[in-house]
Structures are given as structure tokens and as C-alpha cells.
Chains A and B, each alone.
Chain A
Amino acid sequence: MKPARVRGPAQDVAGLGVTRALGFLAPALLLIGAFLVFPAIWTIYIGITNYRLTGLEAASPSIVGLSNYTKALNDALFHNALWLTLLFVLGSAIIGQNILGFALAWTMRRARPAVRRTVEALVLLAWILPSTVVAYLWIAFFDRDTGTLNSILGTQGTAWLIDYPMVCLILFNTWRGTAFSMMLYSSALQAVPPSQLESARMVGASGWQTLRDVVFPHIRGHVLTNTLLISLWTANDFSPFLLTKGGPNHESETVPVYIYNVALQGGELGYSSAISFLLLLVNLLVALLYLRLLRKRS
């Protein structure tokens, strides 16, 4: 965190003066204002109206106070969306990407450079391909009639995306996002002093003991950073929509998908803004928690 701003020449090391300093800041502040602060305030505003995409309320919306928020608290579908988001984050980010990313980083550490580079390239590819392309590939993979998965397993006729939508999404997102965790852990593992690993080996520590007592204490901060970042990204991820549209019958409708469906399918822009704001609050809370934990660490 920056130290609190105190006016006075002593702080003005570069000798810019307040006006010129503000001039330097202005472009960044304008961008933040236009694309971050304004939309956020706009969302709060729409959230207290009954604004709709079409119909009378589209032409002349009225202020309805907090009723959108009370509606959200009693909305079974919103609760469903929250629960599914929690599952999604827990399954694909906190467990899936974290563990797979670490496992890859740990095993690739001593692999031959050629193998290592190939694996990294493949994992990275999953991360950098455009979502639409990836979604198409996965739909083809899970498809009921001519899907790759059914051909491999010999389970013709199993509609994976219909029968196990959340499992599919968790698998998909684990595959999709592991690259970040892998890269972060690869560099974190380099911070573990080789001498300590060597000594652990000398005293006959098992693989698990080495991980727990030697490696983990060194990378604890990285685990925290990684988990929080990927959790936030996953919670706000919209690509589930590309695979299932939230279906069948709301069974894979995570909060971002639910917001989209409420806003555009249902046309309830006011209500969806209220939910967006709730999601924004949760995000802020998590971010604050993250900053606090980081500060504690340093």
C-alpha cells in the first residue's frame, strides 16, 4: 500500500508540483473513471429501478428502491446460481487448477527440457485459445451423438452436458485455466533452496514429507495469491454459457450466466443489475481479504 498522501514539498521528490502531477495522473484516472467507476455507479442506479429490455418499463422505468435486492434474497434460482458458483470455484479453481497446476510444475521441474517445453506449450495453448473456439471443441468432445468422449469410452448416447453439466464444466475449466497455476508454481518452486531439498533427501524424507515441510513453507504466499486470483476469475467466468447456456433447466447456471439470462433472456435489466452489484460486492470483499492477507505476510 502507498503511504497516506501528505501535502508538502518534502514529499515531492521529483519536483513536479501538484498540478503537473495531476496532469500525469489524469489519463489513467479518466480511463478508470470511464470504464470502472462510472459503470459501477450506473449498475447501482439501474439496480434500484424496474428497467426492462422491452415493454413499458423500458420507456419509463421507475425507482423501486431495494425491492430488487429483497427479491434476490428470496429468489430460489439466485440461490441455485450461488451454490453452483461455489461448486464451480471449489471444484475447478481451488481444487482442480491448483492441484493440477502444482503437480505439473512439480513433475516438470526435473523433466528433460524438450518434454517440459512441450507440456508447457500444450497447457498454455488451452489457456490462450479464444473461448469460442475452445467451447466449440468441448461441445464436440462431449456431444451425445458423435462426441469424442463417447467414442473413447464406448458410451454412445450419453449426453454428458445434459446429464452431468456441472462435472463437465468443472473439468473444462480445470483444463482451461491450469496454465496460470502451473506457471506461477514453476517460478515459485525456484525460490525453494536446492540445499534444503538436498538435505531432506539425505535424511530420508518421503516425497510427501518434503513437500509438506520443505517446499510448502516457501511457497505458502504463492499458494494464497494463486488461489485468490483463480477463484475470482472463475467466479466471474462467463464461458460456461458457451457450453451449456446455464441449462438444462438451470442446472449449470452460475451467477454470471444467471445475470446474463435474467438480463437478456428475461429482459429484467433492473433486477440483473442488482444481482451484478451483489456479485461486485462479493468480489470486493474477496479482494480486500486478499490485500489484508498479503500485508500480513509482508
Chain B
Amino acid sequence: MRRISRMSRLAVLGSAALVLLTGCLGSSDSDSGDQDANRNADAKTVELTIGSNSVKGGKNSAGATWTQDVLIPKFVEAQKAKGVDVTVKFQGDGSDDEVYKQKLSLDLSNKSGPDLINIDGIWVGEFAQAGYIKPLTDTVGDAAKVDGWDGWTQIPESVQQLGMFDGKRYGVPGGSDGRVLYFNKKLFTQAGLPADWQPQSWDDITKAAQALKKLPGVTPVQINAGTAMGEATTMQGVLPLLVGTGATINTDGKWLGNSTQIRQVLDFYKSIYGGGLGDPVLQREAKGRDKSFAEFAANKIGILLEGDYFWRSVVEPKEGVAKMADRDTAVGYALIPASKPGGGIKGQNFVSMSGGGAVAINPNTKFPQQAWELLQFMNSAEMVESSLDGAAKITQRTDVNAKVLAGDPMLNFVATKVLPITQYRPGLAEYPKISAALQQATADVVGGKSTDAAAKTYETAVEAAAGSKDKVTSN
């Protein structure tokens, strides 16, 4: 008897606690708009932090070096001239993008984190919906001040989209990129393949791979697959192949489910990893992408699908994470072909995918006005140009691009040949879940499942992510 009453007392206490907790989660109504955008606007001592997934001597080393050695000192100096004592800290990370995103989401959900945050363009939607970032006009509080910034006129509309959601600007984009097929010219010569290789179809890739297979200790081709690589699988694998079949992942608001095109892509994966042309184990390893970089640099991979990031930050001779001293002569690059000539999206022969990041202001910053000043400063023509430091990168600013493009053949190639034919990912909040489903589908195929089985599982995941069957096309 005594025991029962004690149990029921516990139950009552427990449910009372649950009732009290209800409504504690989330941040929707409690904090929007009630912070004064002009808080601390006149402060003489200001402290700002820049958060970025880059670190000196590691991931995106050049970017971290520039931020710490050029941007911050220059900004501090400029503010000193105005009589403001600014301290800017750099909070660098050197982890996988997914891990960086998790950390940032946790920081922002607790209303902490750096004042300026570097984020991938495709996170803007989900971060905005979660209330982790706010439209710049809200955070800065003055629409004229934000929209009147002269930098916007230099940033092309398609690039601005990277920092936008629902037609509102959440951040200033930091340039764009494009994907190509890299190949090792030394291995190509050994295998009797041309040094100016340009495949016209997926079959051409397979043929080259078969020739490379004869070289001992060489993995002919590596196309990112599996869940361990996260978004890299989607961006440097599934999506460039998918646009090569003439489809996009989202058309008119409907996601592509189990369809001919998806199965075609998965079949191509199967032919590479099931046919001994690629190394399936590498795609399943926890550190697979870094390993693929190292192996390419060590002349062990023939063909690799990567973005221009690979050229300027990975095999880059001085600061890359997998340096290749002879990069300029040894690494070739070619456009990604459609599955067959004319078979790509919009009837194209060649295809690519582009993305890019943006810098947003943490809505909970103590110094919104100063953060906006720093954001403009880092995106000024002078600063963007200095960030290049002679290296190859497609910046967000047309004026800077016009000056520096001609200097680097690879950069020029991406800007003139790739960007005109490229596609962007849909800036929809469901995208990351769809992307995860695509990664799982490739993991299944590389792991040995049949294309049909993988495509079926994919369809189920897409329907769950999209919310209903009506938002998915399958055929």
C-alpha cells in the first residue's frame, strides 16, 4: 500500500515537472525582434569573434592565415583611427563540415557562439527557420543601411542567393566554386592516355579508368560516395552525375524520388565500385575523403571528382593539406561530361555543381552595428583582393574577379567554362535530409546492395523528408 502511494506521488511529481517544462524548448517567440539593434553602438571598447571552419596549417589554411594576419589587424587599425578600441578574435576549426555545423547549431541554439559566422550556403535555410540567424536588416535594424551597401552591386545575383532564404539576405556570400574532374597526368601518360583528356560521356570515364587499372597500385577513379563523407558525397558525386542525366534533385518544388535518373547514377556508382575501378573501402572509411586527397597527391588515384577547393587548398604546393610540388604540371582538369553527349541538364554536353559559403551575423551578438561594419570591411574590394594573395579563388565580387581571373589558368577555367554551365543546390530547408538520403543510397550501392533496393530505400527516406508522397516525383 505504502509502495503504491509512493509510486503515484512520484508519477504526479513527474508529470507536474513535464507540464512545467512544456514551452521551454525552442526560441520562436521569446527573442525575436525584442533586442535593440543599436545596443552598444557607441561603445569605445568592442570585442568581436569570427568563427570559421579553417585553421592555420590545416583545413583552409590560407583563409585562416588571411583572417588572422591581414583582415583582423587592418580592421583594428581602421577602427582605431575612429577612436574605437576593437579586439577581434578568430575562432578557427579544422573539422569536417558536418561536425562544424553541429557545433555551430549547438552554440547558436544556446544563444552563444561567434559574432560573425561562416556557414555553407545550404545551411542558411535550416538555420534561418530555427531562428539561429536573422535577416541582416533585422539584426542591423536599419534596412537602408544594409541594402545601401555598395558591395551588393558587385555580387552577382546567383552568388547572392547563397546567403539568402525566402528572398531575404541573411549573410554576405564569400564567393563561389565549381566542380571538375581532376586527373593525374603522370599516370595518364603511363597508361597511354592523352594529357589533355576531356571525356565526352560517362563511358569515356570508364574507358580511361580501365586503361589506368593496368597500372600497379593505382586506383583508377574515385567518385565520392557513402555517408562518412557527408555533403562531399552529394556535391562531388551524386549531384554532378545527376545533372548529367538531365535531371535536378528538385524541380518545381518536387523532390526526385526513385526514378530512372537516380537509378542511372547508382548504376554508374555500381559499375565503378563493383567493377574494381574505384576503391570501395576508401568510401566507407571514417577519414575517407582526407585519404583520397593524400592518395591523389601520392600519385595513387587516377581520376578524382572535386571542386576548385581541391586545387587551391588541397594539392596546393605551399599550404595545401596534401601538397603536390608539381601540381601545375602533374594535375590536369576536365569538364564533367553528361552521361552521353547532350544528355545533361538543359541538353548540355558538360555539367557541374556550385556552392559556396556566406558570413552571417549572430543575432545575439553584443555589437550588431560593429559586426555589420566588420562584415562590410571583410567584403570590400581591397580586402577580398588581399585574401587571394596570388592564389586561385573565384571571389564574390565581380570587380575583383575581373582583375585577378586572368592570372591563374585553373581559376580562369572554372570561371569561364564551368560557371556558365553549373547548377546550384535548392535553398530549401529539407535539402540536408534529402542529401543524407542520397548519401545513404550510394553507401548501400558501394556496400554491395542492388541498385533497385538502394533506390527503394532512398524513395522511402525522401518521402519522409519531404513530408508527403505528393512532393516526390518517381517514375
Binding site for B on A (CB under 8 A): 41-42, 44-46, 49, 51-56, 58-61, 63, 144, 159, 161-163, 244-245, 247-249, 264-267
Contacts and interface: CB of A to CB of B under 8 A. Distances in A.
A235 to B, nearest CB: 22
Interface residues of B, number: 36
12 contacts: A45-B21, A54-B126, A58-B105, A58-B130, A59-B129, A247-B228, A248-B284, A248-B285, A249-B443, A249-B444, A264-B102, A265-B98
Contacts of B274: none
A55 B226 contact: no
Contacts of B130: 52-56, 58-59
Given A41-B17, A248-B228, A60 B28 contact: yes
Contacts of B29: 60
B131 A247 contact: no
B45 interface: no
Contacts of A42: 21
B25 A54 contact: no
Given A54-B127, A54-B130, A249-B284, A41 B21 contact: yes
B284 A61 contact: no
Contact of A162 (B26, B126, B227, B281): B281
B429 A56 contact: yes
Interface of B: 14, 17-18, 21-22, 25-29, 98, 102, 105-106, 109, 123, 125-127, 129-132, 226-228, 281, 284-286, 429, 432, 436, 443-444, 447
Contacts of A245: 228, 286
Main secondary structure of the interface of B (DSSP, over half): helix
B437 to A, nearest CB: 11
Contact of A248 (B14, B18, B127, B447): B447
A248 B21 CA distance: 38
A56 B129 contact: yes
Which of A45, A46, A58, A267: most chain B CB closer than 10 A?
A58
A54 B29 CA distance: 16
A173 B453 CA distance: 35
B53 to A, nearest CB: 16
Contact of A44 (B18, B26, B286, B432): B18
Contact of B285 (A59, A61, A159, A264): A159
Contacts of A56: 129-130, 429
Given A54-B126, A267-B105, 15 more contacts: A41-B14, A41-B17, A42-B21, A45-B21, A54-B130, A54-B432, A56-B429, A58-B109, A58-B130, A58-B132, A159-B281, A245-B228, A248-B447, A249-B443, A266-B436
